[in-house]
């Protein structure tokens, strides 16, 4: 394929995330939105909005002319593996929304499928492309030796979030650990390296769905860093990545922090991007702490940056920033937490 030919892409699934991926595709001059796949009647409006064909199934799409070269899988969690495998076996590169799978074995099978067919498999942990995460990773060396981290993802999901057609979110495979914490685990891996041990206590259930609502977690990383994390989608709180950054247009910005990172030379809170250091070379609780606010560079929307990266990976110009193996590592930690 020519380096100048746009990559033909199909978006599979038009729920909450699919249209945002479609927007990224149509904005990228190196990509072309070939079609959409979704059996839901509501998908007709999405296809009309983007002016592209709509197919009820992957097989219908593959049987039609103008076959795409790659796919974005944006469907419910339990469908990620079977749909991604179907696309890979048909010869399409795949960027699958997180999470890679709902269990370790099927995730391993998906990675093997991509390897067998010599195709690219990326996992859509788009926060790796968010400007606050990029700025945080850049700032970490200035904190000295990293010792501990504290994280919060705490918010309130309204009842309609769990209503049809997204009532699958009530299921055991779609609780807050696999839907939301998996983002946090991937970012913790991205910033601090692999997590090797966890302990968790589940929060009180208020909805009585099979899906869990939250948990309190302790973490140990391979490099010795330790951490704690509070997770809940059923409490009133300004502390979450989405509300702190304001980068999700659906969620009002609070500006409050969701991560606190503690080092031997300083500490950093995110996303307010405040660094605290002693004003002199003497480190003592009796010394004055200076406060510094880091600038965060403006960047394109993370979905757009991720899509551009996917195109360049397909063309052999970049290595995957979040591979199937990376996605499975995050899944393994979440599975360990859910099993406790």
Segment 227-282, tens digit of pLDDT: 999 999 999 999 999 999 998 888 999 999 999 999 999 999 999 999 999 998 89
Q: How many residues does the chain have?
A: 340
| 77 or 304, higher pLDDT | 304
Question: How far from 176 is each of 126, 168, 234, CA to CA, in Å?
Answer: 17, 13, 10
Mean pLDDT of 285-306: 93
| Residues ≥6 apart with Cβ < 8 Å to 53 | 34, 35, 36, 47, 64
Is residue 19 within 8 Å of 301, Cβ to Cβ?
A: no
In this predicted structure, the answer to whether residue 306 has a pLDDT above a threshold of 70 is yes
Beta bridge partners of 72: 11, 95
CB atoms closer than 10 angstroms to residue 321: 17
Q: Please tell me the predicted confidence (pLDDT) of residue 148.
A: 98
Segment 179-222, tens digit of pLDDT: 899 999 999 999 999 999 999 999 999 999 999 999 999 999 99
Domains, the chain, with CATH or none? 7-127+302-321 (3.40.50.720), 128-299+335-339 (3.30.360.10)
Segment 50-109, tens digit of pLDDT: 999 999 999 999 999 889 999 999 998 889 999 999 999 999 999 999 989 989 999 999
């Amino acid at each position: 394929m020519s380096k100048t030919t746009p990559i033909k892409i199909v978006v599979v699934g038009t729920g909450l995330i699919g249209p945002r991926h479609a927007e990224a595709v149509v904005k990228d001059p190196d990509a072309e939105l070939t079609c959409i796949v979704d059996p839901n009647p509501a998908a007709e409006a999405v296809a009309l909005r983007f002016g592209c064909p709509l197919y009820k199934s992957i097989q219908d799409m593959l049987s039609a002319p103008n076959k795409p070269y790659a796919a974005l899988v944006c469907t419910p969690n339990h469908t990620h593996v079977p749909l991604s495998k179907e696309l890979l076996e048909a010869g399409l590169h795949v960027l699958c929304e997180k999470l890679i799978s709902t269990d370790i074995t099927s995730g391993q099978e998906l990675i093997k499928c991509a390897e067998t067919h010599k195709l690219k498999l990326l996992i859509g942990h788009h926060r790796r492309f968010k400007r606050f995460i990029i700025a945080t990773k850049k700032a970490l060396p200035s904190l000295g030796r990293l010792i501990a981290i504290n994280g919060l993802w705490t918010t309130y999901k309204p009842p309609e979030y769990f209503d049809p057609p997204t009532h699958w979110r009530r299921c055991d495979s779609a609780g807050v650990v696999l839907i939301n914490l998996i983002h946090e685990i991937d970012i913790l891996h991205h910033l601090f390296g692999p997590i090797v041990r966890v302990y968790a206590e589940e929060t009180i259930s208020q909805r009585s769905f099979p899906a869990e609502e939250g948990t309190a977690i302790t973490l140990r990383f391979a490099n010795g860093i330790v951490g704690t994390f509070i997770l809940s989608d059923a409490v009133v709180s300004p502390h979450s990545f989405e509300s702190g950054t304001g980068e999700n247009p659906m969620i009002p910005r609070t500006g409050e922090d969701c991560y606190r990172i503690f080092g031997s030379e300083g500490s950093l809170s995110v996303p307010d991007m405040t660094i605290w250091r002693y004003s002199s070379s003497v480190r003592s609780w009796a010394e004055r702490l200076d406060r510094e606010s880091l600038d965060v560079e403006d960047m394109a929307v993370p979905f757009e940056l991720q899509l551009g990266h996917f195109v360049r990976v397909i063309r052999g110009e970049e290595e995957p920033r979040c591979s199937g193996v990376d996605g499975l590592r995050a899944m393994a930690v979440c599975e360990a937490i859910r099993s406790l």
